[in-house]
Amino acid sequence: MLKKADIDTIDEIIRTYQQFIVTTHVNPDGDAIGSEIAFAHFLKQRKKSVKILNSSPAPDVFQFLDPNGEIEIYDASRHIEYVSNADAVFILDISDWGRLRELGEFIRGSHLTKVCIDHHPKNEPFVEHDAIYPKASSTGELIFELLHGLDAKLTTRISEALYTAILTDTGVFRYSNTTPRVHQIAAELLGRGINPQQIHKDIYENQSHARVKLMASALASLKFHYENQLATMIITQKMLAEAGASLKDTDGLSDFPRTIEGVEIALLFIELDNDRVKISFRSNGNLVINKLAQSYNGGGHAFASGATLTGTLDGVMQKVLTDAAALFRSR
């Protein structure tokens, strides 16, 4: 899937430069974290200096990928010397400056050679070296293809990270992005000595008490609309506080409602600070929803997208529900 020209360009950048930054979007998921870890370890194989700098912590369930604390939270006062002296930055799993926060602001105006590897659709060029392939199941799949093309040694650590990236973004190999190629890659990674049972347990059977409490509150808010074809849940600041949870505990909660019989679209509304509301859009595969997210300056895949709106929780919900009605009328 990854074009030879992209592989050659990235190979030349790696050969030319010595000091690298690897980063991803705020509130990183398994694909983002797995891709970062795998690619950073490959750069270290090439005897390069590399730092993984993110805008927010990884969810606890992915800490097994980073036992030595290689992922750092960007702090200008601590990292300014390193980023100022860096040669290039690899931006993984995101092609949106806004979701890179403060680090993104620095990178955008810097001298750094910028490379983006992503599988989210993008209508306009992002950086000078874009390797964006929306047909890929995950950024992890693209990193696998890249490392394969560069004759990298797929160590157990790299293989574990890539398997996690693909596993999580395919919904444990059950989403429509699970292609024959995805299973071929998974099979090769399994042959590298990873333990798929332990990875699954670490991610999906290791929920914190705070997350479970938050999930219970979210499920209590479940409502159905449009003849039960659309399901909504909410998470308020009060619910987060009462559960002792944080925003990273909301990851994946939007997937549950679409598993309910008859539900075509699931929406999760998360109340943020400063009169903002984050919406996660999920579809069971019959209705495309990323255009709805794009209308709010969001984006994502055809059946899994997100956006953040300014306004009260009730006001944003009313607006989005009204706009979502058009999806059902247009069928």
Per-residue pLDDT tens listing for the chain (331 residues): 899 999 999 999 999 999 999 999 998 999 999 999 999 999 999 999 999 999 999 988 999 999 999 999 999 999 999 999 999 999 999 999 989 999 999 999 999 999 999 999 887 889 999 999 999 999 999 999 999 999 999 999 999 999 999 999 999 999 889 999 999 999 999 999 999 999 999 999 988 999 999 999 999 999 999 999 999 999 999 999 999 999 889 988 999 999 999 999 999 999 999 999 999 999 998 899 999 999 999 888 889 999 999 999 999 999 999 999 989 887 6
Residue 300 region, left (φ>0) first, then alpha (ψ -120 to 50), else beta? left
φ/ψ of 19, rounded to 5, equals -115, 125
- Asked if 245 and 281 count as a contact pair (C-beta separation under 8 A), the reply is no
Other beta carbons within 10 angstroms of residue 1's beta carbon come to 14
Type of residue found at 182:
V
Question: Which residue is associated with the tokens 């790696």?
Answer: 14
The CA–CA distances, whole Å, from 325 to 44, 142, 312 equal: 50, 36, 20
- Helices 30-45/156-169 angle, 10° precision: 160
Cα 158 to Cα 154: distance, rounded to the nearest angstrom? 6
Contacts of 254 (CB under 8 A, 6+ apart): 233, 266, 267, 268, 280, 281, 282
Instruction: Please give the Cα distance from 32 to 39 (Å, whole number).
Output: 11
Residue 194's nearest CA partner among 148, 160, 167, 152 is: 160
Contact 267, 280 (CB under 8 A): yes
Residue 108: how many other CB atoms lie within 10 Å:
12
The DSSP annotation for 108-165 comes to HTSS-EEEEEE-S--SS--SSEEEE-TTSS-HHHHHHHHHHHTT----HHHHHHHHHH
Chain length of the chain = 331
**CB 162, CB 140: distance < 8 Å:** yes
Q: Which residues 6+ apart lie within 8 Å of 193 measured at CB?
A: 156, 159
Q: How much is the pLDDT for 121? A: 87
Residues near 82 by beta carbon (within 8 Å), at least 6 away in sequence: 19, 21, 51
Phi, psi of 52 (to 5 degrees): -95, 115
Q: Phi then psi for 44, rounded to 5 degrees?
A: -65, -35
Q: How many CB atoms lie within 10 A of CB 73?
A: 13
Strand-pairing partners, residue 307, are 279
Question: What pLDDT was estimated at residue 301?
Answer: 85
Structural domains for the chain: 4-204 (3.90.1640.10), 210-329 (3.10.310.30)
44 and 14 Cβ atoms separated by less than 8 Å: no
Pairing between β-strand 265-271 and β-strand 276-283 as defined by DSSP bridges: antiparallel
